[in-house]
Amino acid sequence: MALTDEKVSLLEEKAALIRRSIVEALIEAKSGHTAGPLDMADIFTYLFFHALKYDPRKPDWPYRDRLVLSNGHICPVLYATMAHAGYFPVEEMLTLRKLGSRLQGHPHREWLPGLETSSGPLGSGLSQAVGMAIGDRIDNGHTSGRQIYCLMSDGELDAGNSWEAAMLGGKEKLQNLTVIIDRNNIQIDGFTEDIMPLNPLVDKWRAWNWHVQEIDGHNFRDIDRAVSEAQAVFDKPSVIIAYTIPSKGIPEFERKFEWHGKPPTTPEEIEIALRAVRTLGGRIEAPHHD
């Protein structure tokens, strides 16, 4: 489906609503991660409202695409996007991290229909996605048309099992697998290049036989171009390195690693955050199911 100017505008408005839901849920929960969920809102919006094949009325629909969230701590953006896509009421976002809620601090697959995996241990998601891609090929040859997406953080690339999975994915030439890395350059203790330098990141992935692209993670046309190109590569898996701004949408919080793992809690922080996200939003588009 072509990404028209009107569709870009609708995606921008949807992403704004998703950021608002994230912030309101974090404030209510009084715990959780702010930077990653806000900076990945555009990626998740694009996937759920333009690219993915799914049906929220039938979460186990066998022909759906698979989305694996490896860095499970950014689950508020996954939950918020699923809510706006029709998996559950948006109001349920206010139960985030509460005792007995389906919306736990890390995704629990058996509690919320539509989740493909439980996640928490960093670096594990890519191994799971590689396994899904291999399983899909075994079951269907090269004809199923299903796409496997794995979303990862740059900080979790410190975990060695990420590279073991990358090596296997490249060896198996998994053309049905696309990884999107949130390259926001922060992790809980500071900036990634201070904690454990990752560059040259592009060269590392190419060394494992991956098709590599770099994009602006907040530009819907950039995202669309990269995902479309990834699907056109038939001899290797793809990785999209998406450069993002931590805490995107709240200027006072942006690019500050301190917001990696905390929500707005003081009256001043809450006022700043709500003022920023409540000036966003607009029309609500019907969910994209295909």
Going from N- to C-terminal start, the domains of the chain cover 5-277
Mean pLDDT of all residues belonging to the chain: 94
**DSSP code of residue 74:** G
The pTM of the full predicted model, rounded to 2 decimals, is 0.94
Q: Which of 107-111, 201-205, 281-285 has the least mean pLDDT?
A: 281-285
Q: 148-153 and 66-69: which strand pairing?
A: parallel
Those residues with Cβ within 8 angstroms of residue 121's Cβ, 6 or more apart along the chain or in another chain: none
Distinct helix (H) and strand (E) counts, the chain: 10, 7
> How many Cα neighbours within 13 Å face the side chain of 207?
7
| Strand-pair partners of 187 | 190
Given a contact cutoff of 8 angstroms between Cβ atoms, the answer to whether 74 and 85 are in contact is: no
Distance, in Å, from the CA atom of 189 to the CA atom of 196, rounded to the nearest integer, reads 11
140 vs 205, more confident: 205
Query: 283 pLDDT exceeds 60?
Result: no
The proportion of the chain whose per-residue pLDDT surpasses 70, expressed as a percent, equals 95
Indicate the pLDDT class of residue 160, thresholds 50, 70 and 90: very high
Indicate the pLDDT class of residue 143, thresholds 50, 70 and 90: low
Those residues with Cβ within 8 angstroms of residue 169's Cβ, 6 or more apart along the chain or in another chain: 126, 130, 133, 177, 208, 210, 237
Query: 286 pLDDT exceeds 50?
Result: no
Q: What is the pLDDT of residue 290?
A: 43
Q: What is the pLDDT of residue 140?
A: 80
Return the structure tokens found at 82: 């699923």
Query: 281 pLDDT exceeds 80?
Result: no
CATH topology of domain 5-277: Rossmann fold (3.40.50)
Given a contact cutoff of 8 angstroms between Cβ atoms, the answer to whether 26 and 96 are in contact is: yes
Query: 142 pLDDT exceeds 50?
Result: yes
Given a contact cutoff of 8 angstroms between Cβ atoms, the answer to whether 169 and 210 are in contact is: yes
